[in-house]
Amino acid sequence: MFADFDFDIILRTLPYLFFEGMKFTLMLTALATAGGILLGTILALMRLGSIPVLPKIAAGYVNLMRSLPLVLVIFWFYFLVPYLGQWATGASRPMQVGAFASCLITFTLFEAAYFSEIMRAGIQSISKGQVGAGYALGLTYRQVMGYIVLPQAFRNMAPVLLTQTIVLFQDTSLVYVLSVTDFLGAASKVAQRDGRLVEMYLFAAVVYFAFSFTASMLVKRLQKRIAIIR
Amino acid sequence: MSTMIEFSGVTKFYGPFQVLKDCSLQVAKGEVVVVCGPSGSGKSTLIKCANGLEPFQGGQLTVDGIPLHDPKTDLPKLRARVGMVFQHFELFPHLKIVQNLCLAQQKVLGRSKDEAMVKGMALLERVGLKEQANKFPGQLSGGQQQRVAIARALAMDPIAMLFDEPTSALDPEMINEVLDVMVELAREGMTMMVVTHEMGFARKVAHRVVFMDKGEVVENANKDDFFNAPRSDRAQQFLSKILTH
């Protein structure tokens, strides 16, 4: 049944697919994960802290982001960020923001909401006694968080954080709405140019599966290695 | 003797529930005071007030002349000087034993890594756990963990030590190894406030015994007076229950 198919096209476009497309996808995934975890941790600390108003602001942000479809947020930010930049810098024209920067900002802000919920659970999983022991030694709030609570929270939550990253890796394909050349975008461009839709989308599916599945396996292994001995 | 810890009229509420009712007592420098009483009597809460881990609403509490009831008091600075040992050890499970001892020395007291290590290893040797320095807390028995916790508190060169039921979570055969360390400390003249049910420990090293019930200091007596002739009915009942077996 594959007689009419031209799988050779994959080999011919491989450099383009990986060095243009996959590079974009992986860079976006890695940077958005880093930014998302950083911002998410700050949101979680805001939410669990005792400073008035901050918990409400953080909760409002998280709930807003989690209630919007990602595609919509991608769209919104793409059109909004140039004007926000103009407003922030006081320039006379909308700021020039590249597609990659726009995507990165969007995914960081969006994923931060999910990462913050994971980190919130992670921080809450550390017993009050640990916090008390830190304070009893004379550590300040920052030190207790930085040396005792967060390192344990990260370790407890590492598998969930990485699983969320795998979801993020797949979700980056939604940047197609901006006609950006991520991995799926690259495959799709070739598919449409050469009329080889089945081959290219089949290959894209296989690659996404291979990456995600391998990553899940690695997460499982890692889980065993970094678990805190109790 | 000068006073190290002084509670006067300390009052605390959890919502509408009053946990501490007008508690007053003093611990002199070098004195060992055992606090006992039925569970829920507020003894743990009382001892946690003494290093600012539990806020209180009324009364005054000073440690080495520093007022804890004053909101301007630098609590981390005070806590660094008062050692605390918890019922559930509370070692940091993600850090090796030696790192547990070094963390606060470096971050709070500003000691160099080498200095902290030397001090930490010396204390581990003292509690008989030098060989365990590079293990993680989860690899040690409860008794060993509690001895590490005591060493961790001592690493800060505390002016006083607070013990909150240090042996309650231990298997019976491990209680003595922890008590031995505490007895030694007491004999060296450390100021200690100990919440415990170990009456043998109290008889051996305590100078005074404080009996609490329902948030009140019911009895505050010399050790011998307390054991031989407790004045209050509640202390008599408590003693008869705890000492029958």
Question: How many Cβ pairs within 8 Å bridge chains A and B?
Answer: 73
Whether residue A85 is predicted with pLDDT greater than 90 in this model: the reply is: no
**Looking at residue A98, what is its pLDDT?**
84
pLDDT class of A7 with cuts at 50, 70, 90: confident
Whether residue A204 is predicted with pLDDT greater than 90 in this model: the reply is: yes
- A136 contact residues in B (CB cutoff 8 A): 51, 53, 79, 82-84, 86, 153
**Looking at residue B245, what is its pLDDT?**
61
B201/A1: higher pLDDT: B201
Q: Read off the tokens for B111.
A: 């000691």
Q: From B161, which residue of chain A is nearest by alpha-carbon distance?
A: A136
Q: Which amino acid is at A185?
A: G
pLDDT tens-digit series, residues A19-44: 999 999 999 999 999 999 999 999 99
- A228 contact residues in B (CB cutoff 8 A): 93-94, 136, 138
Percent of chain B at pLDDT above 90? 86
- A135 contact residues in B (CB cutoff 8 A): 52-53, 75-76, 79
DSSP of B79-91, one letter per residue? HTTEEEE-TT---
**Looking at residue B239, what is its pLDDT?**
87
Compute the average pLDDT of residues A117-142: 96
pLDDT class of B59 with cuts at 50, 70, 90: very high
**Looking at residue B36, what is its pLDDT?**
93
CB contact under 8 A, A137 and B94: no
ipTM of this predicted complex?
Answer: 0.93
Q: Where are the beta strands (DSSP E) in chain B?
A: 3-14, 17-28, 32-36, 58-63, 66-67, 82-85, 160-164, 192-195, 208-213, 216-222
Q: Where are the domains of chain A?
A: 8-229
- Tell me the Cα Rg of chain A: 21
Other C-beta atoms within 10 Å of A156: how many? Answer: 20
How many DSSP H helices and E strands does chain A contain? 10, 0
**Looking at residue B183, what is its pLDDT?**
95
Cβ atoms of B217 and B210 closer than 8 Å = yes
**Looking at residue B180, what is its pLDDT?**
94
pLDDT tens-digit series, residues B68-95: 999 899 999 999 999 999 999 999 999 9
Q: From B104, which residue of chain A is nearest by alpha-carbon distance?
A: A137
Distance between A138 CA and the closest CA of chain B, angstroms:
4
Q: Is residue B92 within 8 angstroms of chain A, CB to CB? A: yes
Distance CA B126, CA B119 (A): 11
**Looking at residue B181, what is its pLDDT?**
95
pLDDT tens-digit series, residues A149-176: 999 999 999 999 999 999 999 999 999 8
Whether residue B29 is predicted with pLDDT greater than 70 in this model: the reply is: yes
Comparing A15-19, A30-34, A212-216, the range with the smallest average pLDDT is A15-19
- What CATH number belongs to A8-229? 1.10.3720.10
- The whole-chain average pLDDT of chain A stands at 92
